[in-house]
Amino acid sequence: MDLTVGPNQFFWTAAQVRDFYESVAKAPVARVVLGELICSKRMSFWTDQIPGAVEVLQRAGKDVAISTLALITLKRERKQTADLLDMGLPIEVNDISALQQIPAGTPFWVGPLVNVYNEGTLRWLAKRGATRICLPPEMPLASIATMVKAGAEVGVAVEVWGHGRLPLAISGRCYHARLHDRAKDNCQFVCGEDADGREVDTLDGQPFLAVNGVQTLSASTACMAWHTEALAAAGVASLRLSPQTGHFADLCQGYADRIAGQISAGDLVAQLLPEAPGGRFSDGFLMGPSGADWSHPIEAA
């Protein structure tokens, strides 16, 4: 089992993006998916950093893919999706409509925001050219094991969400703009103010969710530190680490050490918790009962 860095979900400055991928290039990860996942309006601010980042990453020996948007609606966004193909990198499909742009026979990856819940869908996508699939984060361990087996039969590597705020929903409406009483078309890019998302609490003050433009995330940070053995035993090919602001290269190193058996789950959790957005971990999607649950609440205390 190796490590994959997923596309950054948040709106960072060009300088932040550049620094981030320079540090990721030195981190012990096998591959990196980059590109704007959430909002096409952010693109002009930072996507000119992509060619440079790709070069740095490839020079460091990383496999690199480019992600589509998670929700493609506008004509401009469809054109941008078609343009991604010209970069000569594998595409990570995060909106199924991108398949209409990918010629038959061209291999592609499938991201966690595409609904791949069963063997039938996996097999169909494999036939269409999928070589890697990152499963939806809400899938339980038993289903993951079944999917890994199905993937092995058709040459698809199966990846799961390893660390980071969970992508829970995507909408046509921008919640960041709404929180600032602005329309989406006049958002003034307020999502850039919250580099790890803006927290949403219940009326009782309990941390619950986080908004990131048109996306809704968990307030807790998903962390599979306690489950690396189980996931490796199930045959999972890779753990996906989702970009966050705090010491990301150390986070990658921590997971690499954990997979290599050089650090205990408890120690990794203790190391990562201070940097975790929301200050709380969850791993409930894997073992239940609900996504927000954390299997080892004592560590969180």
150 or 223: CB nearest other proteins: 150
Note whether 131 binds other proteins by CB under 8 A.
no
- For other proteins, which is the closer residue by CB, 233 or 260? 233
Residue 57 CB contacts under 8 Å (≥ 6 apart), including other chains: 21, 24, 25, 32, 34, 64
Helices 119-128 + 141-154 axis angle, to 10: 30
Residue (of 167, 143, 168) closest to 288 by Cα position: 143
Residue for token digits 């299997």? 295
CB of 256 to other proteins, least distance (A): 28
**Rounded (10°) angle between helices 50-59 and 14-26:** 10
Which of 10, 20, 21, 175 binds other proteins (CB under 8 A)? It is 175
If we measure between CA atoms, which residue out of 39, 62, 276, 259 comes closest to residue 160?
259
Coil, helix or strand at residue 241: strand
Question: Is 223 labelled a binding residue?
Answer: no
Shorter beta-carbon distance to other proteins: residue 60 or 190 = 190
Position among 43, 60, 154, 179 found at the interface with other proteins (CB under 8 A): 179
Determine whether the annotation assigns residue 252 to a binding site: no
Instruction: Report the site for other proteins in 101-120 (rule: CB under 8 A).
Output: 101, 113, 115, 117-120
Q: Which of 50, 125, 251, 276 binds other proteins (CB under 8 A)?
A: 125
- The nearer residue to other proteins, 20 or 108, going by C-beta atoms, is 108
**From the annotation, which residues make up the binding site for [4Fe-4S] cluster?**
39, 174, 187, 191
